[in-house]
Structure 1
Amino acid sequence: MGVNPPAHPTGPARPARPARPARSARSARSVAVLAVDAGNSKTDAALIAADGTVLGTGRSGGFQPQRTGVEAAVDVLAQAVAAAAEAAALPLPGPGTPCADQVSACLANADLPVEEQQLADAIGARGWGAATRVFNDTFAILRAGLSAGGPPLGVAVVCGAGINCVGMLPDGRTARFPALGQISGDWGGGVGLAAEALWWAARAEDGRGGPTELAAALPGHFGLASMAELIEALHLGALAQRRTHELVPVLFAVASAGDPVASAIVERQADEVVALASVALARLDLLDEEAPVLLGGGVLTAGHQQLDELIAAGLARRAPRARVSVVAAPPVLGAGLLGLDALGALPEAHGKLRAHFG
């Protein structure tokens, strides 16, 4: 997959308009951007003035259109938007009463351009803004991690429940991956790491695989005596499948203690991060440039020393001029910055928004 052409606003192609004074309190507290960051587990929304002032924020549940359907998923976004409007003491937005000039939504599960368009159409129909732009949520990490001033340029890798990577050039061209799991060549992320650890632990206990401390550590985390008990509990529903994400820190702890099997899993995760970043850099002709590589998501922001060192070493070999850093800022900041970018906001507005989110 090559470099994608410059990104354009999704949804109706309407130019940004100046703030309109007709709405109550709008002249004093005009909303330029409605920023939304929606992940699998939570959604954040922020109403942002043209000068970068955050007028109100709101939070709701996870965004999973593939499981709930698009309209039900957008209903979850609406809850966060309503909470932000209430915090800002502004009327609830809707058709005929948009709350912002630009809706900038960075959404999990918007993995393909056709999905971004579908979601942009659904969000645009809610009437929250004069124009709507939808991005995959990895773009929020990329934009949030780029330094203030200057056009966006760099690559971001997110490793949370899943794994994804995007890159962007100042002219708007992007590099991205489908990030649809095994069918699109992906490996790792919290869900994949937990599954891999369980696979090796099960085989260690029943003799099909070599020994590993994971066979005791994984069931021990849940107060169980064996992998057989853990497998039964997961299969019969006594232990919810969603709780397997708790095993990721256990995997890293066993690896850091020197277990060869656990260490091999961590090494493979590092290799995947390095492969994604270096390929994205190559697609954008940035391998020979001093370009930032930004790491986000729960797995990459948790400070696992072994993983961090392996990623740094791998990038030093494959992309020696890359500048690696971890993005700790909330992704809704990136969504807001993308919205300000679209409106041509002054650098001071970007700085004020960054200061708010720390």
Structure 2
Amino acid sequence: MRALYLAVDGGNSKTDVLLGTADGEVLGFVRGPTTSPHTIGLPGTLKVLVSLITAVREEAGLAAATPIDLAAVYLAGADLPIEVERLQAAITARGWSRATLVDNDCFALMRAGTSLPDAVAVVCGAGNNCVGRAADGRTARFVALGPISGDWGGGHDLAEHTLRLAARGEDGRGDATVLSAAVAGYFGRATVEDVSIGLHLGEIDLLRIRELTPLLFAAATEGDAVAAGLVRRQAEEILAQHRVAAGRLGLLDARHALVLGGGVLYARHAVLHDQVVAGARAQAPLVEISVLDAPPAVGAALLALDALGHSPAAEQRLRAAMRSASPTTAVPAVAIENAG
């Protein structure tokens, strides 16, 4: 009988779960909400995973008694060793598989982007994170607890700073910028001051601030100096993460992959992408840079296949299958309501 695996990629906004075989066949693929324990707590994480794993087994037509050999679970929020240990213990205790691998979702993204054993992955989506690995098994990572651990960047930070710069540019505390008119116009207000008051009074949902990131990149592309400065700060942060992670692993002068992922980097805004590529090559001349073009869940599946001892043909089959695969949406509403 073919070995079976579960592969989970749980990000801050969604979770993908695959059920597949060691020869690269995909039997089921479902998608649900976040499973980050930082957002919904460990009990909430487990409840959502129960629903999604049940759904993917049903989609695959897997009998209840059919055992699964390995679960490879990669989650946002698995940042500290103690968090990984707790997740590993809790998931193992559920008995979903004979063996369990648990780690941060950045490792899944990295594996989806490269087969090189020496690699660094930088994720710039809603937030920012980075991990690295060397062929000898060493890893490099950051505490990644947000501002309290020195983190900065990603779509949410960029959007908040866009609003701040627009306000300061309008009232004179900062340099004049086209962001002021752009932000006011986006919310249908005469001034950024009106936008700020609307946010304060609840007339505008605070979550809508997150919608401002495209305005930043549009202004930077048009040559606005204030917007360009903020984009440059993001590029410098991404390059610092790569430099430190690769440096800790002794890879700055060696051939290695740099995988770029997350919505901000996936968009390939030239004003950001070109700075990152040039800067990475300046600090690591042998680096091979790619922007992830596959779902990170592919990486979780490949890490499962690596552990099961797959053939190169199995990886090719999996990647080919996932290029045209669409997940079934499985939203475990009850799990979300009771999470936390």
Q: Are 2:273 and 1:272 aligned?
A: no
1:163 paired residue number: 128
Q: Kindly tell me the number of residue pairs found equivalent between the two proteins.
A: 323
Alpha-carbon contact 2:160-2:210 (below 8 Å) kept: no
CA deviation after TM superposition for structure 1 residue 47, in Å: 0.4
Q: Which runs of 5+ in 1 are unaligned?
A: 1-26
SS in 2 for 1:278: helix
CA distance in 2, matches of 1:262, 1:35: 39
Q: Are 2:255 and 1:303 aligned?
A: no
CA distance in 1, matches of 2:205, 2:78: 26
Q: Deviations over 1:41-79 (max 9, x none)?
A: 111100011111001111111123223221112211222
2:77 paired residue number: 109
Instruction: Output the TM-score relative to the length of structure 1.
Output: 0.86
Q: Are 2:106 and 1:138 aligned?
A: yes
1:88 paired residue number: 60
SS in 1 for 2:98: strand
Alpha-carbon contact 1:31-1:47 (below 8 Å) kept: no
1:236 paired residue number: 201
Choose from 23, 26, 31 the match for 1:59: 31
SS in 2 for 1:329: coil
Alpha-carbon contact 1:98-1:127 (below 8 Å) kept: no
CA distance in 2, matches of 1:220, 1:130: 56
Matches within 5 A, 1:252-271: 252-271=217-236
Q: Deviations over 1:163-183 (max 9, x none)?
A: 011111122211111111122
1:179 paired residue number: 144
SS in 1 for 2:71: strand
Alpha-carbon contact 1:219-1:230 (below 8 Å) kept: yes
Choose from 51, 57, 74 the match for 2:46: 74
1:118 paired residue number: 86
CA distance in 1, matches of 2:132, 2:262: 16
1:245 paired residue number: 210
Choose from 282, 285, 292 the match for 2:247: 282
Paired residue type of 1:348: A
1:321 paired residue number: 286
CA distance in 1, matches of 2:62, 2:190: 55
Residues 308/47 of structure 1: CA separation in 2 closer, same or farther (3 Å cut): same
Specify which structure has the bigger relative contact order, considering alpha-carbon pairs within 8 angstroms and separated by 6 or more residues.
Answer: 2
CA deviation after TM superposition for structure 1 residue 132, in Å: 1.2
CA distance in 2, matches of 1:168, 1:202: 42
CA distance in 2, matches of 1:174, 1:240: 40
Alpha-carbon contact 2:36-2:75 (below 8 Å) kept: no
CA distance in 2, matches of 1:63, 1:235: 31
CA distance in 1, matches of 2:250, 2:266: 27
CA distance in 1, matches of 2:202, 2:39: 20
SS in 2 for 1:129: coil
Alpha-carbon contact 1:212-1:260 (below 8 Å) kept: yes
Matches within 5 A, 1:196-215: 196-215=161-180
SS in 1 for 2:16: strand
Q: Are 2:257 and 1:292 aligned?
A: yes
Q: Are 2:192 and 1:227 aligned?
A: yes
* CA RMSD after TM alignment: 1.6
Instruction: Output the TM-score relative to the length of structure 2.
Output: 0.91
CA deviation after TM superposition for structure 1 residue 112, in Å: 1.2
Deviates more, 1:118-127 or 1:236-245: 236-245
CA distance in 2, matches of 1:126, 1:239: 43
CA deviation after TM superposition for structure 1 residue 247, in Å: 0.9
Superposed structure 1 runs of 4+ greater than 3 Å apart: none
CA distance in 1, matches of 2:255, 2:202: 50
CA distance in 1, matches of 2:197, 2:184: 11
SS in 1 for 2:271: helix
CA distance in 1, matches of 2:242, 2:304: 25
CA deviation after TM superposition for structure 1 residue 282, in Å: 1.1
CA distance in 1, matches of 2:300, 2:60: 18
2:181 paired residue number: 216
Residues 237/123 of structure 1: CA separation in 2 closer, same or farther (3 Å cut): farther
CA deviation after TM superposition for structure 1 residue 31, in Å: 5.0
Residues 33/200 of structure 1: CA separation in 2 closer, same or farther (3 Å cut): same
1:344 paired residue number: 309
CA deviation after TM superposition for structure 1 residue 101, in Å: 0.8
Is the helix fraction higher in 1 or 2?
Answer: 2
1:193 paired residue number: 158
Deviates more, 1:300-309 or 1:123-132: 123-132
